[in-house]
Structure 1
Amino acid sequence: MSDSAYRVETTSRLAQWRIDNLASCTYRKSDPFKIGKWNWHLSIEKNRTLSVKLYPETSNLTRDNPPIASFIIRVLSSVGDRKALVHPEITDKQLKNNDDFVWAIEVPLTGKFIVDVEFLDLKTSSPNGGEPCSIWAEGFAQKRSSTTALASLGRMLSENIHTDIIINASDGSIGAHRAVLASISPVFRSMFSHDLKEKELSTVNISDMSIEACQAFLNYIYGNIQHDEFLIHRLPLLRAADKYDIEDLKEACHESLLEDIDTKNVLERLQNASLYQFVQIGT
């Protein structure tokens, strides 16, 4: 059998495998073909049904960062009216091995046919557990760079890397970094720029926040806050955002508090809206 029987023709996002002859009870696996960052294989097995598989080649890249694929796969038959069998679109499916995508075709196929794959998107997982990133999206390198920077910033806080300031909450203390705090808050920047006790003693007292709320506050500043943590501490975060002039956190808390107003908390929410000068609430 010629080498062409295993070769898959490709363009940037399309792969096409031509099968000239497939005997009964036959298995065939294509040569590897490259789409995106990965080498791929197609395979077919003909028994009572025809099974088509698409999977990435086993490698360190696939093990550490398996592709998350969106694609359309078709089988085009050359017999009769050249009928096309189209699998329903696959969206954001992680593919690690040759059993992750199997298409069992009940319709008998004879003669020549083509397996055609159109890759709509390929994504990789975010290193810090965030949303997967498309390798083809505009600005992918910038997004990945930002994701890596945020993950590094989060580790600086969680692993206490070269901290140079102590935050004293009502019931505990946390190490932080002057430069990070000053970059997000003009109030912190002023503290560390003038001869105030915070600069001299390398401490900031936030006595109106618990250690858990203060940790959530710092996690937000360092780009490391989790959604559940944010929801639990919205009110102390709102107070801290107002006190330290962090406008985007203040707005995020305001928008979140608007989402779950009910008869039990409406008065409290109105008081907060008035206190923090949100003119409109519940609209």
Structure 2
Amino acid sequence: AALEAARLEASPAAAAIPHHQPRLHSPGVGQPPHLGLELPPLRPVIQQRPPPDPIMMLDSTNDPTSVAGSSSSRPGSPSMPPDLGPPVAESWCCTQMKVTKFTYLWAIHNFSFCREEMGEVLKSSTFSAGPNDKLRWCLRINPKGLDEESKDYLSLYLLLVNCGSRNEVRAKFKFSLLNAKREETKAMESQRAYRFVQGKDWGFKKFIRRDFLVDEANGLLPDDRLTIHCEVSVVGETENLAGQSSAQSVRLPECRLADDLGQLLERGQHADLTLCIGGAELPAHKAVLSARSPVFQAMFQHQMEESRASRVVVEDVDEDTMREVLRYVYSGRAPRLDQMADSLLPAADKYQLDRLKVMCEESLAAALTVENVCDCLVLADLHCAAQLRQRASQFILANASRVAESPGWDQMVRRQPHLVAEAFKALAAQAAPPMGPTPKKRMKLPAS
């Protein structure tokens, strides 16, 4: 069915709508469908299909000029006429458009208690791309719509609070909601970079229907918590890099050090060490292991039995895990990281492979669920994985009621009670409102 035109509305903070007619084109084959729309003068409109996909309304801007989202572009050399032959020298220019991308997560607890009046505003705290970034942003929502037209919807906007020393900022943005499985859903993004000035906001007046949002079957308000995920891409300065190179310039081949060392491991050439794991023997090279692992370096330096016999018996790491550890040691890569992160992390900790250890933490943290978060917290505690421990603790706090019903929680209560105690302390600190001492209540004395 043909998409109807829907209206681009300006929020109260937005300025007058320009009399321009930009066109947003539909994506090509194989891409997810977007709204193709043509904006007539004054107050044009975009409508999506009816719920569960809500009608989206995007605020307008004073300046309709769009900015490409690509980070860089390099024009090709102009073709020469066939009779002139190749040029003596080649001039080139590389244009790079700097784009800073960052994300922000806003969790609104007890969402059902938000004010029901139309036009009421709820704002997040301010945020930025980093500690040194002068641009300050915040999110704002109207839980029951911005006006009479959107009273059955939740309105969502990105607001530029402070633009620092810049007069204006151009940025693209994407909003989505996290469901009970921490998956992004109901995503909507701007189709180009819009112009922000201080105090200006852009967003969607009809982001999502309230009846669809509060329906428990859709899982968008687990434990009465609304979680909004925002991704911002800020367009920075444009730089041109120009140069001229001789036609006889030498072309350097690509560096293949990691590939060559990986082949050295696979072929077992010139190996001077054998790692014995169960019934398997893995050839290796002392020099490579010593350079990459402080544990192996100490083992071979101090004339230990393994160094004299050129054999190392590995007892607490299985064969598949050790093979993947060796691949990382030789090439800096771990192709099976996502499938083996839970077994690779203890091995990385044992052999002091710090980068591999953090890679495992990142992989495990990205795949946290109610079912595995307790196991990940225990693993992080056993192997001093501080970043994974922090992420797992935060996940438990955000999903406390569901995690407490999982088998992993019961097992952690029995085997690692100190972790349970820490979780309770953090949960109590998060839930307790700031307040003074509890007023003393006079006791009722029985009649004499």
Q: Given the two structures, how large is their TM-score scaled by the length of structure 2? A: 0.32
- Rg: which structure is higher? 2
Q: Given the two structures, how large is their TM-score scaled by the length of structure 1? A: 0.50
